[in-house]
Every structure is written in structure tokens, then in C-alpha cells.
Structure 1
Amino acid sequence: MHRWRVLRPHLEDGVPLLRAASEAEVALRTAQRWLTRYRAEGLAGLARAPRADRGTRRLPDDLRLLIEGLALRPPGPSAAHVHRLVVDVAKNEGWPVPSYATVYAIVRDIDPAMRTLALDGEKRYREVFDLIHRREAAGPNEVWQADHTQLDLWVIAPSGKPARPWLTVIEDDHSRAIAGYAVNLGAPSAIQTALALRQAIWRKSEPGWHVCGIPGTFYTDHGSDFASAHMQQVAADLRIRLVFSQPGKPRGRGKIERYFDTINQMCLPTLSGYAPRGTKDRAGQAKLSLAELDAAIGRFIVAKYNQRPHSETGQPPQARWDATGFLPHLPASLEQLDLLLLTIAKPRKVHPDGIHLFGVRYLDTTVLGEYVGESVTIRYDPRDIAEIRVFHDEKFLCRAICPELAAQSIGIKEITAARNARRRGLAHGLTHRASVVDRLLAVHQPPEPSPSPPLTDPAAPVTPVLRLYRED
């Protein structure tokens, strides 16, 4: 704009160019050249033209490559160290000695991708600079994703000790709706995955949670539970295509990882026991039981997450899943699904009073009476052992119910904890009673008589002692 201000009096006020140039202390020939450019190109003609050699350095190519090569050697030396090495080499080769500023500028202008590959490794380079293909399912249930995470929340385990639970989630890729989940204290396993998949596939009891059906593709990582022979058999029976992400490359599971961030930001901080890293006495924050945490996460999924517009799709996940109006493909019955998914199966014999399991009896008054004495296979949900499913020759017979547990859902861990507590209570009672018996018996027993000295016989002859003398 300086050049325009010099020419403006001449162009707008009619001031002679010589006078305008003199007042601005600009040579007349320079002002004439500016005026010619302005009339030919307008205001853009007054812009300073960049130098033709701008960005280039008058250095030998080998010297520039030497500077870049030294800067790319792990662990990444400082520009000052590179400059000291380059000065010595340049003097020996007869090259012009570059200044520190020149070396610093060359090091600064190295391609960031090349710098990352050289100094941080190929894995980091792939994470930052590799091209990404964003896969997007065309419709609901076309692709489901599944993954596990350990929550930043502590609960009270059935043993009474604090523990960090694991969350398994199955998400519909198209709608971002959560199809199923499972909360457990154990490390990820095939049974957790099977239970979450069972909930995801079958119809939900919650009226606002419609996501169900058999997915076309099940996309997971290479965890042992996902890649197990059981999951492969389940996928073959349900005609689900199993797809695994590349080992060590979690970017392909970004959608479900984002859901875990949502859980950590919107759900867990509102619950008792939330203790992220840096919290003092993290285990001491535990207040909820595992069942209470399970119910809280379920409420968050149904009432909040699935109903809240997603930032990427712009629609609530549940509404996006319902939008197409398609009919999901479901198994013929829940019993058939259980036969495939519930891996906890145990052989049992039908007794006249029912089936014995976990120290309790399971009864069914309609079918089991015909199979007394027969060997059957029972399958059960470890989260709720109030009911078991009975199979005979791989055919579903009935559901047997424990009368003592029918009014409530009790897990196997609660049963085990109750057994151990009962056993410890009995052992404590036995120890206490034994100590009382020993103490009272010791008080009321008569004292033992003191031993009398041995009696000597006065009539016994006394044996003379033989004396010995030394002879000279």
C-alpha cells in the first residue's frame, strides 16, 4: 500500500507525478514504473514481485543432504550439534561454510512425514500420515463393531473388595446405536462377548431400545475371545462374517473407541466410585455393586445415548436405526440363540426332586418328570442363575427355576460369595466354641496330685565303698 499512497495524489488530485514523488522521497523513474504497472494491472500491479530464487539456498546439494541426514538420525540431534558437524565437513570438502541460521532453516523445513518416519518409527508414521479409508455401513445391522475397555470406576465385588470392572460394547456402525453390552469383573473372555452378543441380537425388554437382529458383519480386534473357535462356530451358524482389524492399528475401530470416550465423559463421572488416574485412593472410592453399575450403564444407553443426536450423523442413533423401517433377521427362538451363545454348559442328572446345581434345586413341573434318571445338559447365564435352560440330545426341553431364587436375579458370584461367607461364619463359630470348651474344662477339672518322693527300704543292706590308694 506504500506505492499506492505515493501515486494517490497524482491519480486522484491531479498533483504532478514529479511533485508527488519528491514529497514521498521516491525517485521519479521508480514512480513512473509504478504508475505504468498500476495502469496495466491495477492495484495488483503495485505488489512487490517475489524473488525468482526465493526459498532456494546457494549450497551444494550434497551439503544440504548432509544437513538433513544428520538431523534425521535418531534420537534427533539439535540444530547446534548438526551445525558443528557440518562446519567441519564443509571445510574439509571446500564447500561454503553455512551459518547456524541456514542450518536451522534447513532442519526446520524437513518434511514432517519424513521426520516422523525417521525419528518416531513406522507405527507412528502410519498413525499420523497414512491415508485412511473411512468405512461407512449403508444400512442398519450391516456392520457391528465390538470391543472391551476397563472403566475408570471402582465397584464393590461380591467378595467385599474393590475392583475395576470391564465393559463390553457392541455398536451398529451405520446408526452408532448400541446394540448390546456386558459388564463384568473378569478380564475379557468369550463368555462376556457371547452374553453381549446375545443381548444385542435378541429383542429388548426396554420399550425405547429397538436395536436387534443378526448382523451381516461382526468387526472386532484380534483378541483371543473374538478370535476363539467358539466365536467362529457361532458366526458360521448365524451366517455372520467375522472381520478383524489389523493388529496394532486401532484406527479402524475409531467409532466404538469414541463411544468409550462418551461413557467416560458423560456417564461415569455421575456415578459413585468414579476415580480417573490421579485420584487419591482410587480403590477407596468404590460404593456401587456390579449390578448397580450394570443398571446405570443400561439407563444411560437407552435414555440418553441412543436418544441424543450424534455429532457426526446429526441424528439420534435409535432414530437413525429405525429410519429405514427394515425388518431385522432374528433367530427362530431365544432357546436356539442360547444354544449357540451360552458357552457355560454342564452335564447333570435329573433327580426326583429336580436338577441340582450350585447347592440348590431347579424344578419344572411340566417336562422334567418324564426325564427322571436321564442325563441332560444345562446352560445358564452366569449373571442370573435363578433360571437354567435344560437340553436333552441338543434339543431344548424346558426352563427350570429355583424356587428360592425365582423372585430375584442372583449371579453365580453372589452365590459363591454367600457360600464362602457362610463357611467362614461356621468355622468362626466352631473355633469360638472349642475355645470356650477348653477354657471351662480347664477351670473345673480337679488339680492333679503332686508326685510323692520315692520310698527307700530301710532293711536294704548298705554296700561299702571301696577305697583306692596310690602305691609308691
Structure 2
Amino acid sequence: MASWPDDTLALFRYSLIAPLLDPLADAEEKRRWRQDVLARQHLLPDGRRVHVSAPTLRRWVRRYRLGGLEALRPALRRDRGSVRVVTPELLEQAKALKRQDPARSLPQVVRLLEAAGLVAPQTLKPNTLWRHLHREGLSQRVLPPKPGLRRFEARAPNDLWQGDATPGPALPDPFQPGRMRRTYLLAFLDDHSRLVAHAEFFWAEDLYALELCFQQALLRRGLPWRVYVDRGLIFQAEVFTRACAELGIRHISGTPGHPEGRGKIERFFETLQDQFLRELSHHPVPHLAALNERLAAWIEEAYHVQVHSETGEAPAVRFARLQARRTVSAEKLAHVFLWRRVRRVDKTGCLRFDGNRYEAPPGLEGRKVEIRFHPLHLERLSLFIEGRHAGDAVPLDLAHPVYRGLDRVHHPEPSRPVAPSIPYLELLVQRRRQRQARALSPLRLSLVDEPEAMPDV
């Protein structure tokens, strides 16, 4: 087993038990899902096809309930540190076979090695070889199938959110004066009430923008039981799917070629186009902050209080029936959404990452560690070994305080003058500010009349 296993197998196991953990699924739904899982073969990340037994499913459910996603990781090898089957010479032969024909399966590679007398029969497992080839980019990772949406409308607020993105208006580019740049809107919509958990315009439709929008939605509205998204790259990214698993949110992907499953959020985008963007076109704003301020005002002062044509109620009124909500602290969200990379600490106790040099805690010399970091704050790297925190790396040479793989559009935007008043949207902004001032309690400095909160997950 590699010195540092990633979450690939844990996420695969979670995908099979997520419907069994879903408190909104009834007994019949769970029975049908269990029968389907037990009846078919499943494609593991290393290319093997396996059957899963009922005791195994029950064991994974117990592990997740006791220890979350970490408990679904594979167990550590007892022979760690001893001589392994895969020698450097054997690995080179396996790599050559995969490069010769990338579609060649790992079990077939093992059979070829056995036929050539390079390894004794039954001593090399395909999943062992996969771990080595995965580091070289020669393995084929296949995402497990995702369950589809089964209900037309969720039964209660926060049972199900829909998430999606759409292009927004073009604004003056703060990074290239004199040019215009397209914005992108990311939004999460409560399926039952049609309330917007959070929506925000960004300069890029990427993973970091998705993280920022989703975190704001969770902090403002609590944790949903399910989130339904399309199969776009950002919504299928490991950072996002892992965060959902750790927070106990069932991640559901839409079926390709069937966009009707996201009909509610698409309808919201149409309403936004007709009401918000149409007015905005008559009174443009000069920068992104002004655009998002007007968006928040329109959502809270116009969209949330209008009676919805299908439900017969205003989204804010329908969402207010939420009796209790699952909450999560900002500190836990910051930890869950940290980005991850694997590096090796050198013999001097130092490691290099993104053009920077760091000193690792004593005892990690020569070991592979998982780095968890915030892309805007590379002055702090948290190091993990086998899922356990092993301390923080101290920067020795911080040439790049911001992750170079992050689009520069997420860097702090240059200051801009305040936008002039506009008839409709500026009025909504002022109304929102007045309402917030009235709702703010001077004694406890928080919004009053909020739903009763459950303990942090």
C-alpha cells in the first residue's frame, strides 16, 4: 500500500451507502437501492470489478456513522516498511506495458508480468499495481455512478438544493483597463420553497468560486440533506464531493442529456434575466461589488417576497416553515474546503510547494505528506499523515503567498468609486439596508427570528 492513500476508495464506498444514510429516503427506496447494489458488479478505481455483500454494506454504514468519511479509508498495512512485491524493475515493465496500450487493463498487465516470469502467480494484486501507476498518471480512474433525482419537489425546506451556474453581464475588467470581461453567476436554490440559499457573481466559473458560493449558502441557510448538480467539472471536483461527504450532504448528479431535473433553478435564472438583468442593462454598474450588492437586494427585497406561481407562496414565507436546521461553523467549513496535494519531505526536513520552501515538523524526514491549504494563504500549510494531523509547515522562503494555480481574478479587486444611484435597484439596496438595521439586535448582535439551530455537525 502506498505511504499516503487518497480518498478515492473512501468516496467510492460512500457513493454506495449515501442513499442508505439519507434520512429523507423511505424504507422502500433504501430496499430498492440495496437490492440494486447487491445485484450488480461495481467498477473500482483501480479497474477491478467486484460484488459488494450485504454485511460489507452494513459495515460501511456503521463506520461512516461512527467516524465519517475518514472511517471509510482502507486500513493501513501491517507490513509497512518491509520489502514489497513491486520492485523498481517490475514497475518499469508495468509502465511500459501501459504506455504501449493505455486501454490495457491492470489485471491483464499482471497476467503479462506473470507470463513473462517477472512475478510469481497470485502474488501481485491489480489494486497494488494501480497505486504505483496512479502516481505516474497511467491508471484509469472511473467515477462511480451517481443516483438520479427521484422527486419532483422536496417535501420540506433544506431537504434538497439545486446548484448551477450561468453567464452574467460583462463589466469593466479590473485587470485590463479599457476592456470588458464576462461575469458568471453561481447559485443554490432550495427545491421546496424556491428560496435562493445564496447567489453571487464571479469573474470565473471555477472551483474556487463554487466553494465561496456554497460556503455562504451553508452559513446563511444551514445544511441541506441533498444537493443536486449537473456533471460539470467544478460540481464533480473531488474537493466539492469530499466536502459534501464530510458534511453529511448527499451529492446527486443529473443525468446527461436530461436538464429538466434542474428545471427550478433554470426557471430562477429566467426570472433573474427578465427582472434583474433587464433593469441592470439600463443602469450599468462599474464593478463586481456593486453588481453583487444589487443582486442581493433584488433577491431579498423582490424575489423572496413575490408569490411564486407554482407554490402560491412567497419563497421566504415557505422557507420560514423550517422548524430546525443543521448548522456548521465557519471554522469547520474552512477545514473541509481546504485544497489538498501530496509532497515528500526531504532528508533535511524541508519540502517545496508551489515555488515556496517550508520546514516540516521533526520526524517527517523522507516521508510523503498530504498538504492541506487555502489557495490565498500559502503562509500556512497543514500536514497530514494517513488522515492524521502531523503539524504545520513553517515557511522559509515564501516567494508566492497565493497559489499560482488559482486564477488571478480571485485576488482582491482594486478599489473602485461607489456606483451612482439607480432608480429601481438602488432603492432595493436602501430598503435592504434599512431592514437589516431594524432586524439587528443591539444586545446580541445577530439577526432575530431565525429558525432554531441544531448543534454543529
Q: TM-score, normalised by structure 2?
A: 0.44
Flag the structure with higher strand content: 2
> Which has a greater percent of helix?
1
Higher CA-based Rg? 1
